Amino acid sequence: MNATAESSSESMDFQAEVGRLLDLMVHSVYSEKEVFLRELISNASDACDKLRYGALTDAALAGEATDFRITVQPDKDARTLTLTDNGIGMSRTELVENLGTIARSGTAAFVEQLSGDAKQDSGLIGQFGVGFYSAFMVAERVTVVSRKAGETVAHSWESDGRGRFTVALAEREATGTTITMHLREGEDEWLEPHRLRQIIKTYSDHIAIPVALIEDAEAEPETVNAASALWARPRNEITEEQYNEFYHHVGHAMDDPWATLHWRAEGNIEYTGLLFIPSSKPFDLFQPERKNSLKLYVRRVYITEGVEELLPGWLRFLRGVVDSEDLPLNLSREMLQNNPVLRQIRNGLTRRVMNELQQKADKDAEAYADFWENFGPVVKEGLYEDAAHKDALLKLARFRTTKDDGWVSLAQYVERMAENQTAIYTIAGDDLAALKRSPQLEGFRAKGGEVLLLTDPVDEFWTSTVQEYEGKPLKSVTRAGADLSGIKAADTDGPKDQEPEGAIGGLIAAVKLALGEAVKDVRVSDRLTDSACCLVADENDMDLHLERLMRQHGQKVDKAPRILELNPRHSMIKRLSDSVDAGPDAVDRMEDYAWLLLDQARIVEGESLPDPVAFAQRMAKVMEASAGE
Ligand code: ADP
C-alpha cells in the first residue's frame, strides 16, 4: 500500500480487488440499492455485539458497553445520511485494514474472478454480502469517524471510492462509529424518513439492537425495529420474509435459504437453534480451513462465530445462530475446547439437520437433488469422518449412474441390481462425460449392470473406508476383481463369458514379454466390448484415479504397475493374435504393437504417457507400414 504522509493525515491506495468491487458498486450491480442500509446496520449491530462480549471478558471495557443503539439520520440541507453506533469501534489500523482491503479469506480471490459484466457478476456477488463498500452505490463520498473501545483517540477515514482513501486523527466523544454518506445526485430517496423507516423495518427488524430514526436535528429518536433477537421469538410470530432477512444478515448472503430450521431444545441441555441451509453454494466451501460460520450466543449475548466444536466440518455450509442457556457468559476460547455442553449441542444440531434432510429427501426428491448438487460433496466428508452417522449419511447420499440421468440413492441402486449381482459397482474420475465413455464400463453396460459414477475428489476417500452398504460390498470396476461373470447377461450382445481364454494366449505371452516390468500382468478381458484394451488395478493396489488425484495434490505415491487387459473379441486383437500364431516374424514386430496397446490404454484412462516421443515414433512407423500395404 503506497502511503504519503501529510501531517497526521495519510492517503492510501485501496487493495486492487477493493477497487474492482467499488467499480461494480458504482455501476450498481444491485437493482435494489436500498440494501446498502441493511449492510451498514448489520455491521453496526455486529460491532455492538462485539463490545457487549468484550465487556464481559475485559472489565476495563465494562463502562463503555451501555445502552446499545444504532441511529439513522438524514440531513436534507447537507444531502447526507448519517449512521451511528456505540459498538466496538475501529482503531486506525483497523480502519485501514477493514475498509481498505478485503479481509475475509478467499473473498479477494473471488472478486478477482469477477468478469466485469455487471449482470453476470451480480449473481456471483450475491453469494456474499458486499458489506461496507455498498455505501458507494448511493454516496459519492463516505466519511467514517470511529473510536475503538479502550482508546482515547478517534480516527477518520474518507474516500470518494475512486482508488484512494485518507485516514487522519479525529474527534469523537465516545466509543463507536459514525458513517456519513454524501449522497450522489439523484439519490434523494435516502433522505425521506418514510422510505428509511420502511427499509429498516423490512431488512433490520430482526436486529436485536434498537435502530432509531432521527428525522431531523430537532426530532426525538424513534425506534423503528422490533429490537428483540429473532430466534428468541415464537416461531408462529415470525414471517418467512423475516426469516429470510435474518438469513441474509447472519449468512452474509443474498439468496433465500433452501431450508430454515428453528427449534428450542429442552431437557438437560437447553438451547435455541436457528439454522439455514443456503440455496446456492457459498464460494468458500472448499477452502482448506473448512470453517463454519455459525454464530454462538449465550442467553442472547453474542460470544463468537465459527466455533469448530459446535458443528462437524461436513455441515459447514449451514448458516445461523445457536443460543445456549447453559454456557457461562464469560466463555473464553480455551473453554470452548472439550466442552461437554458444546459437544451435546453439536450432537443435537447434527441429528436435527440430518432428520430434516431425510424428511426433505423423502418428500420431494427434486428439491432434495438441488441440495445434493450444492452440498453433496461436503456431506460425503462425513462418511469417513463421522463413523456414528455413516449409515444415516449413506441413506442421504445420491449418485450419478450409468443408467440414469438423475440422482440415484443406494437403496434404489440395490433394488434394481442385476440378477446374481452381489456388489455395488463404482468408477471414479474427474468428469462425468469422460467417465461414461470409460472402456471399463463396456461390459457392464452390455450386461445391463449399473455403475455409480463418482466424480468428487472426496469419493476416493469415503469409498476406501465405507466398504459396503447393507451387506453389499462396493467395488471399483477398474479393479481386477470386479469381474462380471456373476451378472447374468441381459442380452446376447454382451461379452461372452465362455470365450476361450487360450484363444489369444500367444499374443498375451508376446505382449507380456515385450512390456516386461511396465505392467503387472497382461490378461484376457471380460469387461470390454468395443475397445481393444484397458488398464485395471490389481485387487489390492490403489485405484487408478486415486493415484492420479494424490499425485495432483503433490503427494508422493509409488506408481503401481497396472494390469493390461486385452479384448479377445476385438478384430484388431484377433488379427494380432493370428499373426503371432502364424510365425516368429510377427513376434519381433510385436514389441511396437505391445507398447502402442499400453499407451492407448493409458491415454483412454487419462494418464499421461511416460514417453510421448517414443509413442509418436512407433505410431509413425506403424502408419508408414500400413500405408504401404
Ligand atoms: P463484513 O462485514 O462482511 O466483514 P464489511 O466490508 O462490511 O465486511 O466490513 C469489514 C469489517 O469492517 C467488518 O468485518 C468489521 O470488522 C469492520 N466494520 C465495519 N463496520 C463497522 C462498524 N460500524 N463498527 C466496527 N467495525 C466495523
* pTM for this prediction: 0.78
Asked if residue 393 has pLDDT above 50, the reply is yes
What is the Å distance from ligand 1's center to 124 Cα? 21
Q: What is the pLDDT of residue 492?
A: 44
User: Is the distance from the beta carbon of residue 127 to the nearest atom of ligand 1 less than 6 Å?
Assistant: no
Tell me the Cα Rg of the chain.
32
**CATH number for the domain running over 232-368:** 3.30.230.80
Hey, which of 14, 36, 46 would you mutate to test ligand 1's pocket, going by the most ligand atoms within 8 Å of its Cβ? Answer: 46
Report the atom number in ligand 1 closest to the C-alpha of 43: 20
Q: Which amino acid is at 358?
A: Q
User: Is the distance from the beta carbon of residue 283 to the nearest atom of ligand 1 less than 6 Å?
Assistant: no
Q: Distance from first CA to last CA of the chain, Å, rounded? A: 71
Tell me if 256 sits within 8 A of 288, measured CB to CB: no
| More confident: 491 or 442 | 442
pLDDT digit string, tens, across residues 62-82? 888 789 999 999 999 999 999
What is the Å distance from ligand 1's center to 132 Cα? 6
Spell 88-102 as b/e; 16+ CB within 10 A means b. bbbbbebbbebbbbb
pLDDT digit string, tens, across residues 460-498? 889 988 989 999 999 988 886 656 666 655 444 444 444
Q: What is the pLDDT of residue 627?
A: 83
Q: Residue 469's closest CA among 418, 409, 420, 419?
A: 409
Ligand 1 atom 11: residue of nearest CA: 98
| More confident: 2 or 618 | 618
The three-class DSSP label of residue 500 is: coil
3-227 is classed CATH 3.30.465.10:
no
Ligand 1 atom 1: residue of nearest CA: 131
- Rounded Cα distance between 191 and 184, Å, is 12
What is the Å distance from ligand 1's center to 31 Cα? 23
Owner of C-alpha cell 438524514: 74
User: Is the distance from the beta carbon of residue 544 to the nearest atom of ligand 1 less than 6 Å?
Assistant: no
Residue spans of beta strands (DSSP E) within 214-337 = 222-223, 257-265, 271-278, 295-298, 301-305, 319-324
pLDDT digit string, tens, across residues 26-75? 775 556 788 899 889 989 999 999 999 888 888 888 888 789 999 999 99
Q: How far is CA 220 from CA 40, 73, 173, 569, 618, in A?
A: 22, 11, 20, 91, 89
User: Is the distance from the beta carbon of residue 54 to the nearest atom of ligand 1 less than 6 Å?
Assistant: no
Tell me if 14 sits within 8 A of 100, measured CB to CB: yes
Per domain, the residue ranges of the chain are: 3-227, 232-368, 399-495, 499-629
Asked if residue 146 has pLDDT above 70, the reply is yes
Q: What is the pLDDT of residue 483?
A: 61
**CATH number for the domain running over 399-495:** 3.40.50.11260
The three-class DSSP label of residue 506 is: helix
Q: Residue 361's closest CA among 389, 390, 391, 397?
A: 397
CATH number of 499-629, picked from 1.10.1740.10, 3.40.50.1820, 1.20.120.790, 3.10.310.30: 1.20.120.790
Ligand 1 atom 8: residue of nearest CA: 131
Ligand 1 atom 12: residue of nearest CA: 98
Measured at the CA of 161, the angle between CA 160 and CA 164, to 5 degrees, comes to 90
Asked if residue 129 has pLDDT above 60, the reply is no
Q: What is the pLDDT of residue 606?
A: 85
What is the Å distance from ligand 1's center to 447 Cα? 60
User: Is the distance from the beta carbon of residue 132 to the nearest atom of ligand 1 less than 6 Å?
Assistant: yes
pLDDT digit string, tens, across residues 197-216? 999 988 888 888 999 999 98
- Rounded Cα distance between 71 and 40, Å, is 11
Hey, which of 18, 21, 43, 167 would you mutate to test ligand 1's pocket, going by the most ligand atoms within 8 Å of its Cβ? Answer: 43
**Surface-to-core class of residue 629, CB atoms within 10 Å of its CB (0-12 exposed, 13-18 middle, 19+ buried):** exposed
Owner of C-alpha cell 512390456: 515
Q: What is the pLDDT of residue 481?
A: 64
Tell me if 532 sits within 8 A of 570, measured CB to CB: yes
Asked if residue 4 has pLDDT above 50, the reply is no
User: Is the distance from the beta carbon of residue 111 to the nearest atom of ligand 1 less than 6 Å?
Assistant: no
Ligand 1 atom 13: residue of nearest CA: 98
What is the Å distance from ligand 1's center to 94 Cα? 9
Q: What is the pLDDT of residue 482?
A: 58
User: Is the distance from the beta carbon of residue 176 to the nearest atom of ligand 1 less than 6 Å?
Assistant: no
Question: At 114, is the pLDDT very low, low, confident or very high (cuts 50, 70, 90)?
Answer: low
What is the Å distance from ligand 1's center to 98 Cα? 6
Residue 43 DSSP class: H
Kindly report each contact of residues 509-517 with a partner whose C-beta sits within 8 Å and lies 24 or more positions away, as own/partner.
Answer: 510/580, 510/587, 510/590, 510/594, 511/564, 511/566, 511/590, 511/593, 511/594, 511/597, 513/590, 514/590, 514/591, 514/593, 514/594, 514/595, 515/564, 515/594, 515/595, 515/598, 517/561
Asked if residue 299 has pLDDT above 90, the reply is no
Alpha helices (runs of H) in 2-65, residue ranges in sequence order:
16-26, 35-57
What nine digits make up the cell of 132? 461496507
Report the atom number in ligand 1 closest to the C-alpha of 39: 7
What is the Å distance from ligand 1's center to 106 Cα? 16
User: Is the distance from the beta carbon of residue 145 to the nearest atom of ligand 1 less than 6 Å?
Assistant: no
What is the Å distance from ligand 1's center to 251 Cα? 14
- Rounded Cα distance between 316 and 291, Å, is 6
Q: Residue 85's closest CA among 192, 204, 199?
A: 204
- Mean pLDDT, the chain, rounded, equals 87
What is the Å distance from ligand 1's center to 119 Cα? 26
Q: What is the pLDDT of residue 168?
A: 97
User: Is the distance from the beta carbon of residue 175 to the nearest atom of ligand 1 less than 6 Å?
Assistant: no
Tell me if 146 sits within 8 A of 178, measured CB to CB: yes
Owner of C-alpha cell 489390492: 540
**Please, which residues have CB within 8 angstroms of residue 589's CB and are 6 or more apart in sequence?**
579
**Please, which residues have CB within 8 angstroms of residue 605's CB and are 6 or more apart in sequence?**
534, 535, 544
| More confident: 65 or 189 | 189
Asked if residue 112 has pLDDT above 90, the reply is no
What nine digits make up the cell of 388? 456414528
Q: What percent of the residues of the chain are helix, what percent strand, and what percent coil, each to the nearest 5?
A: 45, 20, 35
Report the atom number in ligand 1 closest to the C-alpha of 102: 6
What is the Å distance from ligand 1's center to 333 Cα? 22
Average pLDDT over residues 591-597: 94
What is the Å distance from ligand 1's center to 71 Cα? 17
User: Is the distance from the beta carbon of residue 284 to the nearest atom of ligand 1 less than 6 Å?
Assistant: no
pLDDT digit string, tens, across residues 209-257? 999 999 988 899 999 998 889 999 999 999 999 999 999 888 888 889 9
Q: What is the pLDDT of residue 497?
A: 47
User: Is the distance from the beta carbon of residue 147 to the nearest atom of ligand 1 less than 6 Å?
Assistant: no
Owner of C-alpha cell 443456503: 278
- Rounded Cα distance between 396 and 414, Å, is 15
Residue 417 DSSP class: P
User: Is the distance from the beta carbon of residue 131 to the nearest atom of ligand 1 less than 6 Å?
Assistant: yes
User: Is the distance from the beta carbon of residue 87 to the nearest atom of ligand 1 less than 6 Å?
Assistant: yes
Report the atom number in ligand 1 closest to the C-alpha of 89: 25
Question: At 6, is the pLDDT very low, low, confident or very high (cuts 50, 70, 90)?
Answer: very low
- Rounded Cα distance between 102 and 129, Å, is 12
Average pLDDT over residues 533-558: 84
Q: Residue 125's closest CA among 247, 282, 360?
A: 282
